Structure 1
Amino acid sequence: MIVRLRELASRWTEAVPVLAVLLLAVTWGRDLAGVWVGLVTLVLALAVLAAVHHAEVVAHRVGEPLGSLVLAVAVTIIEVALIVTLMLDGGDKSATLARDTVFAAVMITCNGIMGLSLLAASLRHRVAVFNPEGTGAALATVATIATLSLVLPTFTTSKPGPEFSTSQLTFAALASLVLYGLFVATQTVRHRSYFLPINRSGEVIDAASADDTAERPSNRAAYTSLTMLTLALVGVVGLAKGVSPTIESGVEAAGMPHAVVGVIIALLVLLPETIAALRAARRDRVQISLNLALGSAMASIGLTIPAVAVASIWLSGPLVLGLSATHMVLLALTVVVGTLTVVPGRATPLQGGVHLVLLAAYLVLAVNP
């Protein structure tokens, strides 16, 4: 019976990504309404669950921290494609889309995913434990890239408004790529042990061999899951773009700021990582959760800023990257609180709750600035 249930689960997780891509091909470029919106939303939700399943298969095969990196980079690359596509199609009102979506991703990952993971792990195991060396390095990199890309444009004077000049944008793009590349090399080569889960005694756990009792997938199964993961993520982001006009119409009808569109897009795109991080936290693999959270934040900025810098060559309107004063306060508070959370290497439900309150404050101010 258990074997048959596993076979059934395997079949639907392989069928849904294909269905999502086919539905994307049918609905691409069309105005959706009524039943189509409901169908797209349903398939999108199923594709998210399928993506999480295949990401975990790949992660189990390659081990940590490569497993977290695969999901974070895959999601972010497709997210960047979505942002650039919407910017090219959206006219002047898309000038702030990259900033809004990237900042939303930072707040959701550094406060939402991180807070939920710490809360889930500490409630189930009393205290959430993780490696402060690797997590601290990731947080420092996120803070640096976010400040260079999203805060400095508000204060530069080469161009009016919160915009970079061409040379400044080029520097920010190159700095983001360099820092992200250095981080990936640190995480996967030179100091891989800093990003592996640890036990209550502080000893490193090799997640590839010690995570649960399940047998490691074969190479064939891993490659199949990697293909299905790619299809699922293409489906998730593409279908999210398909329902984005409905989202924009709903936001405008509700009288909310256009920045809320970026928040909703980020929430949809980051859903697979959120579910994967929560499942890892419940297994007391908090380091995997934090790798996903901070790695996604870093990849979101480190890949989006260079992409929009290149896309700005074809964009006719302005590219607004500078944050408002309110958002800069929230970013600064997130970095300070994150630092105090990371330094001890242990967290209680209080730390998780603080991060979630920061996310709630961001969401409230996004809707009602």
Structure 2
Amino acid sequence: MTRRLFASVPVWSIAVPVLACIMLAAIWGLAPGWFLSAIAGSTLIASVLVAVHHAEVIAHRLGEPFGTLVLALAVTVIEVSLIVSMMRAGGEGSSALARDTVYATVMIVCNGVIGLCLLMGSIRHRTIGFRVEGTTPALAVLATLTTLTLVLPTYTSSTAGPTFSAPQLVFAGVVSFVLWGVFVFVQTVRHRDYFLPANGHSEDAHAAPPSGATALISLVLLLVSLVAVVGLAKVLAPSIEAAVVGAGMPHAVVGIAIALMVLLPETMSAVRAARSDRMQTSFNLALGSALATIGLTIPAVAATSILLGLPLDLGLPPKEVALLALTLLLTSTTLSGGRATILQGAVHLVVFAVFVFLAMVP
């Protein structure tokens, strides 16, 4: 019975978390050289992929839109662990790391992920449809949270620089968490039908959902994978920053690297859904990740900053504010129509290319 149960779980999805924990125990407290850092980094990426795989298994068991919520939470836990680990490690630019990562996540999701999904979906299905009642509320919450946490700190007068005072930081963290919680309630309870695929397609149409026991095994392995990710991130934090500085790139690239790494597996899931003409699932994944990043990351880093007395810069410079405003405007026009073509995908990807280029060549 036990052997048959574990036979339904891929061997690699069991082996990677175990090996990652062994690797973490072996290098904990050390300052690994480039060889060990490369192995640990590869293990970290593998652990991220396995964590999202197990989150997908749980998501398939729960169905939409609960499944995409599990994926968003898993990715956010990984991202928060990386940010907090590198904040505690200190170093140049650590005070702006949370801001850079959240901003990078919003830009990657709204331009890169959505653009790629629109492009791949429209290439295969010409014109693609989705539920406006599910996409526009998510975008409204996203626009509110990004303005509150990434724009307003530059213009407040209680403190100098792009920062919040302690009361403002507490208020921003609480409001972000509450607004994200209300959105999750609307998505999963009050108006769940708004976030279901517009054409009636679902994950259940492609494969039978896993058993409850299989989902439970995936839950345990997901937790083990997240423990490994958190620990390895803490060990590798100084090496990641040193590599960026050594390459002569701006420190904001660290935030982009974190966001790209943790969003890659979810991007793959979103693109697969788009190619299967399930654009609403793609948007649930993409926008859910961006919302969870702000709604959970900002409270977490705010609490870390206050409790440990770490500096925290949140306000964006003018160039980034302009790109953020363009991104929100473009995304609102794309998601308010209920249908899209290859043109919208191309425009989003061009803005994403501009974002990456200006990050490396400011």
Global fold match (TM > 0.5): yes
User: Could you tell me whether the CA contact under 8 Å between 1:117 and 1:289 is conserved in 2?
Assistant: yes
Q: Which residue of 2 aligns with 1:264?
A: 257
Letter in 2 for 1:57: V
Q: Which residue of 1 aligns with 2:103?
A: 103
What is the DSSP-based 3-state SS (H/G/I as helix, E as strand, rest coil) of the residue aligned with 2:10? helix
User: Could you tell me whether the CA contact under 8 Å between 2:48 and 2:78 is conserved in 1?
Assistant: no
Q: Detail structure 1 runs of 4+ shifted over 4 Å in the superposition.
A: 6-9
User: Could you tell me whether the CA contact under 8 Å between 2:138 and 2:183 is conserved in 1?
Assistant: yes
Q: Aligned partners of 1:227 and 1:118: how far apart in 2?
A: 34
Q: Aligned partners of 1:95 and 1:34: how far apart in 2?
A: 26
Q: Which residue of 2 aligns with 1:138?
A: 138
Q: Which residue of 2 aligns with 1:85?
A: 85
- Offset of 1:141 from its aligned partner? 0.4
Cα distance per residue 1:205-227 (max 9 Å; x no partner)? 2736xx33422211001111122
Cα 1:17–1:228, aligned 2, differ >3 Å: closer, same or farther? same
Q: Which residue of 2 aligns with 1:298?
A: 291
> Does residue 1:220 correspond to 2:213, yes or no?
yes
Q: Which residue of 2 aligns with 1:147?
A: 147
Aligned match for 2:336, one of 326, 334, 343: 343
User: Could you tell me whether the CA contact under 8 Å between 1:195 and 1:291 is conserved in 2?
Assistant: yes
Q: How does 1:162-181 map to 2 (within 5 A)?
A: 162-181=162-181
> Does residue 1:253 correspond to 2:238, yes or no?
no
> Does residue 1:355 correspond to 2:348, yes or no?
yes
> Does residue 1:325 correspond to 2:318, yes or no?
yes
Letter in 2 for 1:292: L
What is the DSSP-based 3-state SS (H/G/I as helix, E as strand, rest coil) of the residue aligned with 2:93? helix
Cα 1:37–1:63, aligned 2, differ >3 Å: closer, same or farther? same
- Offset of 1:178 from its aligned partner? 1.2
User: Could you tell me whether the CA contact under 8 Å between 1:133 and 1:194 is conserved in 2?
Assistant: yes
- In structure 1, stretches of 5+ residues that fail to align are 1-5, 200-204
Q: Which residue of 2 aligns with 1:202?
A: none
- In structure 2, stretches of 5+ residues that fail to align are 1-5
User: Could you tell me whether the CA contact under 8 Å between 1:78 and 1:234 is conserved in 2?
Assistant: no
Cα distance per residue 1:185-233 (max 9 Å; x no partner)? 000000001111121xxxxx2736xx33422211001111122233334
What is the DSSP-based 3-state SS (H/G/I as helix, E as strand, rest coil) of the residue aligned with 1:119? helix
What is the DSSP-based 3-state SS (H/G/I as helix, E as strand, rest coil) of the residue aligned with 1:221? helix
Q: Aligned partners of 1:28 and 1:142: how far apart in 2?
A: 37
Q: Which residue of 2 aligns with 1:36?
A: 36
Q: Aligned partners of 1:176 and 1:8: how far apart in 2?
A: 39
User: Could you tell me whether the CA contact under 8 Å between 2:78 and 2:229 is conserved in 1?
Assistant: no
- Offset of 1:112 from its aligned partner? 1.5
Q: Which residue of 1 aligns with 2:202?
A: 207
Letter in 1 for 2:228: G
- Offset of 1:31 from its aligned partner? 2.3
User: Could you tell me whether the CA contact under 8 Å between 1:176 and 1:305 is conserved in 2?
Assistant: yes
Q: Which residue of 1 aligns with 2:182?
A: 182
Q: Which residue of 2 aligns with 1:72?
A: 72
Cα distance per residue 1:320-354 (max 9 Å; x no partner)? 10000011011101110001110111111221121
Cα distance per residue 1:247-275 (max 9 Å; x no partner)? 32221122111111111111112222112
What is the DSSP-based 3-state SS (H/G/I as helix, E as strand, rest coil) of the residue aligned with 1:95? helix
Q: Aligned partners of 1:206 and 1:234: how far apart in 2?
A: 35
Q: Which residue of 2 aligns with 1:276?
A: 269
What is the DSSP-based 3-state SS (H/G/I as helix, E as strand, rest coil) of the residue aligned with 1:357? helix
- Offset of 1:306 from its aligned partner? 1.2
Q: Which residue of 2 aligns with 1:159?
A: 159
Cα distance per residue 1:300-330 (max 9 Å; x no partner)? 1111211122112234453210000011011
What is the DSSP-based 3-state SS (H/G/I as helix, E as strand, rest coil) of the residue aligned with 1:308? helix
Cα 1:293–1:327, aligned 2, differ >3 Å: closer, same or farther? same
Deviates more, 1:137-146 or 1:9-18: 9-18
Q: Which residue of 2 aligns with 1:122?
A: 122
Deviates more, 1:112-121 or 1:289-298: 112-121
Superposition CA RMSD, Å: 2.2
Percent identity reads 57
Tell me the TM-score normalized by structure 1: 0.90
Q: How many residues align?
A: 358
Q: Which residue of 1 aligns with 2:3?
A: none
- Offset of 1:10 from its aligned partner? 1.1
